[in-house]
Structure 1
Amino acid sequence: MVKTLKQHLIDTFDDMTQENVKKFTRKLCERPQEPRVRRATIEKIKDSLDLADLMVDTFTSIGAVTVTIELLRAINCNEQAVSLSEATGQSQQFMDKHQIELIGRVKNVDAILDELLVKKIITNEGYEKIRSKSTPTEKMRDLIFGPMVSAGNVGRLALYEALKKSDPALMIDLGAP
């Protein structure tokens, strides 16, 4: 049976320690963007199901996942953030939606290629072929429409993580989860 986004949220919250749930709810209350969550609402939460309900009711299903990933990263629960992103396909959807902007705006392609080579997402041959291109735009175009197509979701996730690491400002600007 396919899990709903809400069920993925419940699983994520169930996997967190009580201390991390407390940090998460504190960050949720401190979040400056609308819609905001009041402390009184947080105090009524009894378990993971209540927290998932609150997230979905406040932000809708898709928005709840994005905000949850954002808050997990803010409290250094990066493993849970990556797991939730993978399970719900958020990073893949982001990559698909923004591939044209990424082709035009990413400048440090060599660092991304290095990381993808180390993770064995691209081959030495693919690495050398892409590095031989003269502009970052050509390199990104070849990367996205070449090795990333054959690497599938695993490759797109690795590219997403490499982009977050090498160009965090760009990823934030594009609204990466």
Structure 2
Amino acid sequence: MAQTPWDKLVFTLENLPQERFKRFKEKLNKLEVDSYKPIPWSQLQDKDAGDVANRIISNYTESVGINVALRVLHSIGEKEACQDLAKALGIFQHTEQPMETDQRDGQHFVDRHRAALIARVSLIDPVLDELLGDGTLTQEQYDTVRSKGTCQERMRQLYDCVRAWGKIEKDKFYQYLLEENGPLVRDLENN
């Protein structure tokens, strides 16, 4: 019998060291995802991998929940577990270096596709978290962008910062967009 996404998520969570699994649950409890409410700590605290996977899927739906789990794994430094789960699910292939197509005619991917990214990016918060975490955004910039109501407003505000960035910062932005919004980025790359 073929494994379901739930089975693959449970396998991944069961293989985390106990302390990392606890960290996963703590991060999951604090995570804000668009219109979804975080999972209450009481529903995570003493739960095993199967219970946590059930909670993720029932709280977010399967497709959003899997992306949430990937995001949390990545944010707690479990990049290998994140990559293995993504690969098992066929979601995306993470690459350490930006793809060769990120620049064309001297224009960076994030500049060339500004309008489309503003209109179509649906998972901006994890991208912002990564940009803050690696120092690309200051806390003030992060707070200003996060204060905007919709994904489109947040992207427009973020692009005020992007104008001042060099290739390294734009490469990081591109990589985080690829991780969180892979199908959109690949669609834009093919146009």
Scaled by the length of structure 1, the TM-score of the pair is 0.56
Q: How does 1:27-176 map to 2 (within 5 A)?
A: 27-33=27-33, 34-45=36-47, 47-91=48-92, 106-107=102-103, 135=105, 167-173=171-177, 175-176=180-181
Structure with the larger helix share? 1
Structure 1 residues 136 and 81, CA, compared in 2 at 3 Å: closer, same or farther? farther
Percent identity, aligned pairs only, is 21
Equivalent-residue separation in structure 2 for 1:44 and 1:16 (angstroms)? 15
CA RMSD of aligned residues (A): 2.9
Task: Give the drift of 1:171.
Answer: 3.7
Structure 1 residues 4 and 136, CA, compared in 2 at 3 Å: closer, same or farther? farther
Unaligned runs of 5+ residues in structure 1 are 95-101, 108-133, 138-165
Q: Quick one: which amino acid aligns to residue 9 of structure 2?
A: L
Q: Which has the larger radius of gyration?
A: 1
Equivalent-residue separation in structure 2 for 1:76 and 1:19 (angstroms)? 12
Contact kept in structure 2, 1:91 and 1:176, CA below 8 Å: no
Scaled by the length of structure 2, the TM-score of the pair is 0.52
Q: Quick one: which amino acid aligns to residue 14 of structure 2?
A: D
Q: Secondary structure at the residue paired with 2:44?
A: helix
Does structure 1 residue 21 correspond to structure 2 residue 21? Answer: yes
Q: Quick one: which amino acid aligns to residue 169 of structure 1?
A: F
* 2:6 counterpart residue number: 6
Equivalent-residue separation in structure 1 for 2:13 and 2:105 (angstroms)? 43
Q: Secondary structure at the residue paired with 1:40?
A: helix
Q: Deviations over 1:33-80 (max 9, x none)?
A: 2331111221252x1110110111111111121111100011101110
Unaligned runs of 5+ residues in structure 2 are 95-99, 108-169, 183-191
